[in-house]
Amino acid sequence: MDEDHARPDGMPAKGNILIYRFLKGGALSLLCSHQARSGVMSLCQCQNCLVAAVLSTLSAYSVHVETQPDTSEIAGLQLQNVANVKCNKAVLFTEVSAEGNTIVASDLTASFAQYMLVNNVFTETYLRPQPFWPHSSLIQGEHVLAATGRELISVRLDAEGKTVKVSDKLCLGQRVNKIISAELATSTFGDTTNTLSKVFVEETPRTCVYATGLGALGIVARITPYAYGCLEGLQRTMRDLGIVGTESQTDKKGETEGSRFINGDLVERFLDLQPEMSQKVYQASIAGRDHIISPSWREVTVLLRLLSILH
């Protein structure tokens, strides 16, 4: 948060980091209130540290736990600033996310910055303006999922770590304001857990949850090449036949040309089709494919029912 004090350049002069504990019944208990040097724009956890975007500076804080002497329960937290890095090319960091010891930050000038935090030392590995403004981003392995206006894009650095390449793009009908990471409990899928390895990349499925300015929530999950191969032809056929998803999606043909995203709202409508139309769509989706590697109608149906549980 930032306080209602402004510097001559209009930026907040003071800021605070507040940490709460969520109690039963929905109550919040304040564990820590730490004053930062200026307005705090974004926060993320990087290994055992808390990383804050403080205007054009990234600050890392170690967290020290204070316990009750009688019960060993947490009485409070203390933050200690252990590392800082100022980016002279960044006007204002708007978003920061981390995975492992890698940190990705974006700013108002459409720069895309990547840092490593090792032994309480920041190392800049990439910083360059982009043709897109990643106002919210999330690291997913070697890729970064970024929200740019009404699009979700998947970007990655090249082998030399010098150029950001857009590998996938998904056009939405609404502006995406925020992306967060979430793990799915395998119990969510009931008796179908033995087939999860065919669908999701991770043993414990991880998803990205995004929120839009119009109040919609969406889920993005990484699926296996097998699952993508089963659904890509189905998605293309349903678009060709004019079968579209919900109004919140932009499903016009060619809108996501070259993308490797599967629109769940669209392909899951296959489950609602009449048997005759269902067979027509299925046969058209596998036309021209080797029958040995083509998924059966049942395999496609099982995949779609499994993905529909995410809703």
Structural domain range at position 246: 192-201+222-308
Would 269 be classed as within a structural domain?
yes
Between strands 111-118 and 121-129, the pairing is: antiparallel
The pTM of this model reads 0.67
Residue 79 has pLDDT above 80, yes or no: yes
| Burial class of 135 by CB neighbour count within 10 A (0 to 12, 13 to 18, 19+) | buried
Contact 137, 144 (CB under 8 A): yes
* Residue 297 CA from chain centroid, whole number: 31
Predicted local distance difference test score (pLDDT) of residue 81: 94
Would 207 be classed as within a structural domain?
no
Would 267 be classed as within a structural domain?
yes
Would 34 be classed as within a structural domain?
no
> Nearest-CA neighbor of 199 among 210, 209, 189?
189
Maximum Cα interatomic distance, the chain, rounded to a whole number of Å: 72
* Residue 95 CA from chain centroid, whole number: 12
> Nearest-CA neighbor of 149 among 106, 98, 90?
106
Contact 179, 137 (CB under 8 A): yes
Predicted local distance difference test score (pLDDT) of residue 251: 39
Cα separation of 271 and 147, whole Å?
A: 30
Q: List the beta bridge partners of residue 207.
A: 182, 221
Provide the angle, in degrees to the nearest 10, between the axes of the packed helices 275-285 and 297-308.
110
159: DSSP letter: T
Cα separation of 179 and 219, whole Å?
A: 9
Would 236 be classed as within a structural domain?
yes
The mean pLDDT value for 232-245 works out to 82
Name the residue with tokens 């990349």.
201
The mean pLDDT value for 34-56 works out to 88
Predicted local distance difference test score (pLDDT) of residue 10: 60
Would 126 be classed as within a structural domain?
no
Would 156 be classed as within a structural domain?
no
At 272, is the secondary structure helix, strand, or coil?
Answer: helix
pLDDT tens-place string over residues 146-202: 777 777 877 776 666 566 777 777 777 778 888 887 766 545 545 544 555 666 655
Dihedral angle of Cα 193, 199, 202, 205, to the nearest 10 degrees: -60
Domain count within the chain: 1
> Nearest-CA neighbor of 244 among 266, 263, 261, 260?
266
223: DSSP letter: B
At 277, is the secondary structure helix, strand, or coil?
Answer: helix
Would 217 be classed as within a structural domain?
no
Q: Residue 122's pLDDT band (boundaries 50, 70, 90)?
A: very high
